[in-house]
Structure 1
Amino acid sequence: MLLLAVAGVAAGGLAQAVTGLGFALVAAPGLIALLGPTRGVAVVVLLGTLASVVPLLGQWRDVQVRDGMALLVPTLLATPVVGFLVAGADTAVVAAAAGVGVLLGVALLWRGLRWRRLHSLPGAIAAGITSATLNVVGGVGGPPVALYAANAGWSPLHTRATLQAFFLVQGVVTVAVVGLVWPSLAMVLALVAGALVGIWLAPRLPAETARHAVLAVAAFGGLGLVVGAVV
């Protein structure tokens, strides 16, 4: 079990470095199975935050600060509100509906469709609020901001850097909420190894391949929401 969890951490670090998101989607199942829900989630959050730090060390100059803040501010403001509104409620239907919406959005963007109105400040705010909602009800806040980035036509480098910065700040705030649980040294080393491989691989991918990778991770997150809601 430990070996599988460590392998998941390495794969999650690689996915995060290549696309700008996806660590929790890949690594969380193994870590939670190994450590249990409470400690597992705390370790996922901390490692996910570190997974954004490693690539940002070389990409921080490419962060689109304005776009990142437009996504981040509504996400952070909406998180406690959503948490209060859904406290004690059955969120399965909301999670399933959101997952279907994410999958539909991925399918349309994969076919080349763009929504100009969504590439705007209101679109960024909507994506941020949706990310906060999905993070609260399903633990998967990445797909909405990934869809926004893909629809906005950001370059792969700007997508990776800006999403890393977004998830870094969101991760720090989340660590403060869920508590600090230190991972093992093997997990940290696996994360760094996976991230370094991803950093090496990312600039070698064609732009269209990198975009499809972002959409694939978003689709994986949407599918996880639907499956988690019905099982």
Structure 2
Amino acid sequence: MDPLQLCAVATFVAMGAATQRVTGLGFALVSAPLLVLAIGPVQGVLLVNVLNLTTNLLVMAQTWRKIQVKRVLLLAIPALCLVPIGRQVALYTPAAPLMIGIGLVVMAALLAVPWLRRTRVFTGWAGAIAAGGLSGFMNVTAGVGGPAITLYAVGIAWEHTAFVASMQLYFGIVNSGSIVAKGLPSLATMDAVIILAALAVGLCAGHFGARRIPVHRARQAVFALALGGAIATVMKGVLLLW
């Protein structure tokens, strides 16, 4: 990466890590469209998967006592079943349409969550299977698997602290599956060191922010950042098509 590109990627990663620590789901929503914008759809989503897995493991080390393993497995098994299909879509779709698709998926997911929040669209065993499968497919193609799980959490009134902890195990499993399916991103050693340092800075900021920032304010910030990144990603994809 050139210095400007690396600076942008490090900033996006730090922002995503901070929101992940506060809300449990912010990393992919914030960083995925922005990283796709910065380094392209394939490498961007691969980097999101790897960094999200790293974030999951680090946050899980602090919150593991609250994890609800049975509920996580109910979501993770159907998610892993859809990973191979998502891999085919991600690897064999041309760059410009893939960027447009990722941006539109993120925008649709962001707008669907508040709109469907009152309908309790995912409940029970069937809801868990549907939410997990949709989340797994979106995670491997667009790097964003959180909105479907959020709708499931709303449907079952999942307690926030347990939800945040459980999501680290869930996305740890799903991101591991995505990495096994697609491989690792191509990064120079120094680029990787700087990006991991940015991740650590973001997690530290989020750790302190979690005690001071109301959850609803953090979620509003996640929504605004993710929506802006998604719109920019769609615009770049359209320009590439031209």
The answer to whether the Cα contact below 8 Å between 1:102 and 1:219 also exists between their aligned partners in 2 is: no
Aligned twin of 1:170: 174
Tell whether 2:9 aligns with 1:5: yes
Q: Distance in 2 between matches of 1:197 and 1:4?
A: 18
Aligned twin of 1:154: 158
Among the aligned pairs, what percent are the same residue? 29
The answer to whether the Cα contact below 8 Å between 1:82 and 1:136 also exists between their aligned partners in 2 is: yes
Q: Distance in 2 between matches of 1:35 and 1:219?
A: 18
Q: Distance in 2 between matches of 1:222 and 1:74?
A: 30
Structure 1 unaligned spans of 5+? none
Say which SS state the counterpart of residue 50 (structure 1) adopts. Answer: helix
Paired positions, count: 225
Shift of residue 168, structure 1, vs aligned partner:
1.1
Shift of residue 192, structure 1, vs aligned partner:
0.9
Deviations 1:171-217 (A, max 9, x none): 1222222222455222111111111221222244556x27x728954
In structure 1, which of residues 60, 73, 76 is the aligned counterpart of residue 64 of structure 2?
Answer: 60
Deviations 1:58-97 (A, max 9, x none): 1011111111111111000122245558986888789858
Aligned twin of 1:180: 184
Task: Give the CA RMSD over aligned residues.
Answer: 3.7
Tell whether 2:225 aligns with 1:224: no
In structure 1, which of residues 126, 133, 142 is the aligned counterpart of residue 130 of structure 2?
Answer: 126
Aligned twin of 2:203: 195
Q: Distance in 2 between matches of 1:214 and 1:201?
A: 14
Shift of residue 38, structure 1, vs aligned partner:
4.4
In structure 2, which of residues 6, 25, 31 is the aligned counterpart of residue 27 of structure 1?
Answer: 31
After TM superposition, the score normalised by the length of structure 2 is: 0.74
Q: Distance in 2 between matches of 1:38 and 1:228?
A: 15
Amino acid at match of 1:184: A
Q: Distance in 2 between matches of 1:43 and 1:60?
A: 24
